[in-house]
């Protein structure tokens, strides 16, 4: 991202990028967040959102609001999402060790081919 952008533009770019990555329309994000679609459009154009809007949109996108405020949110976001998925996998394995290890070995063997 360009460091010459205002924080409002950074937030808007991040919302738009994450929304596109998740294949969510502005209308669907409006529905999920309870924020008017025009407010989301304005936010994506760089208008500074209220704290309520920022919180509602981040919750609807299932991310921490800090990712919307950062120049390098894509890297931070991906790192945290990867950590979350690893934690879920570890919990899954620990819940049912014997059957899950077989499944993981089976998937690993298929990936080697």
pLDDT at 47: 95
pLDDT band at residue 49 using 50, 70 and 90 as cut-offs? very high
pLDDT at 101: 53
pLDDT single digits (tens) 69-82: 876 655 555 666 66
Is it the case that residue 11 has pLDDT exceeding 60? yes
Contacts of 26 (CB under 8 A, 6+ apart): 19, 37, 40, 41, 44
| pTM of the complete model | 0.62
Is it the case that residue 21 has pLDDT exceeding 60? yes
Q: Helices 97-112 and 73-95 sit at what angle, rounded to 10 degrees? A: 130
Cα distance between residue 66 and residue 76, in whole Å: 9
Query: In this structure, how many other beta carbons lie within 10 angstroms of the beta carbon of residue 33?
Result: 19
Contacts of 47 (CB under 8 A, 6+ apart): 8, 12
pLDDT band at residue 113 using 50, 70 and 90 as cut-offs? low
Domains of the chain from N-terminus onward = 7-68 (1.10.260.40)
pLDDT single digits (tens) 84-97: 777 777 777 777 65
């Amino acid at each position: 991202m360009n460091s010459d952008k205002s924080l409002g533009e950074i937030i808007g770019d991040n919302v738009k990028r994450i929304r596109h990555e998740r294949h969510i329309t502005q209308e669907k994000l409006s529905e999920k967040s309870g924020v008017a679609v025009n407010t989301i459009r304005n936010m994506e154009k760089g208008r500074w959102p209220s704290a309520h809007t920022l919180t509602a949109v981040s919750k609807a996108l299932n991310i921490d609001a800090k990712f919307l405020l950062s120049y390098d949110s894509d890297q931070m976001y991906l790192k945290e999402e990867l950590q979350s998925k690893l934690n879920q996998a570890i919990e899954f394995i620990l819940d049912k060790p014997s059957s899950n290890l077989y499944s993981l070995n089976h998937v690993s063997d298929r990936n080697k081919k």
